[in-house]
A and B are shown apart, each in its own frame.
Chain A
C-alpha cells in the first residue's frame, strides 16, 4: 500500500541542526521529496533525491536515503527562525506516477 510516515513535531534550538525523519513503503519509488509549507501557504519544494542516490547536499540541507530500510531524512544545518514550518516527506508512487505525502513534521525553533 501507499504509506509515508513522519513524526508530527520537532523542536530545536536556534543554531542547532534539525533532523526530520521519514519512512516509506514503495520500494520502487523513483523520486523522494521534501516540501516546506509555511502557515496559510502552498508547498515549496526544498529538495528531492533520486532513488539511486544515497545522499544529496544543497547548502544547509542534506538528504540521506537508506533504500534498504526505506528511510529518508532531512538535515537542516544552523536552523534559523525562518525555518519554522511544516516539512512534508513525499514519494513518487511509481506504479501510478502520483506523489504521496507524509503527515508532515512541524518544526519549531527555540531561542
Chain B
C-alpha cells in the first residue's frame, strides 16, 4: 500500500515553455503533498507543501509564480514549471501523506526535467 505515482519520469522542453508534473496517490488519500527539488549530487530541498483544497506553502526562496502547485483533489497534486529556463533543469520529487501513511511519507519516483 501507500503508492505514489509521478509522471512524467523524464521530460525535455524548450526555454520559455511550461511543464506540468503530476503526482498521484494510488491507494490512499493524500491530504498533504510535498514537492522537492534535487540538484546533481546534492540533497533534496523542500520547495513547497500543499494541502488539498488550499494554497501551497512555499519555502523561503522558492518563486511562487514560477512553480505553480495545485492540489485540487485528495489523490492528485501538480507542479507546473512556468517559462522554464535551463537553470530550472533538475530532478523533482513529490511525496504524499495521508491518514493511512502513519509512519511517514511516500515518495514518487521523480521527474528529470531538462530545459534546452
Interface positions of A (Cβ within 8 A of B): 31, 33, 35, 40-43, 45, 48, 88, 92, 96-104
Across the interface, name the chain B residue whose C-beta is closest to A50.
B103
How distant is the Cα of A1 from the Cα of B110 in the complex, in angstroms?
Answer: 27
A92 B112 Cβ-Cβ under 8 A = no
Closest to B105 in A: A99
Do the beta carbons of B104 and A101 come within 8 Å of each other?
no
Task: List B residues at the A interface (Cβ < 8 Å).
Answer: 6, 32, 34, 36, 42-44, 46, 49, 93, 95, 97, 103-110, 112
CB pair B104–A104 under 8 Å, yes or no, is no
Interface of A is mostly: strand
- Do the beta carbons of B109 and A41 come within 8 Å of each other? yes
Which listed residue, B46, B93, B103, B105, touches A42 by the CB 8 Å rule? B93
| Cβ-defined contact, B43 with A102, below 8 A | yes
Q: Which residues of B contact A97 (CB under 8 A)?
A: 32, 97
Complexed CA–CA distance, A31 and B103 (Å):
7
Instruction: Indicate if the CB atoms of B42 and A100 lie closer than 8 Å.
Output: no
User: In the complex, A104→B32 CA distance in Å?
Assistant: 24
Instruction: Knowing A99-B95, A99-B104 are in contact, say whether A104-B43 is a contact too (CB < 8 A).
Output: yes
Contacts of B49 in A (CB 8 A): 96, 98
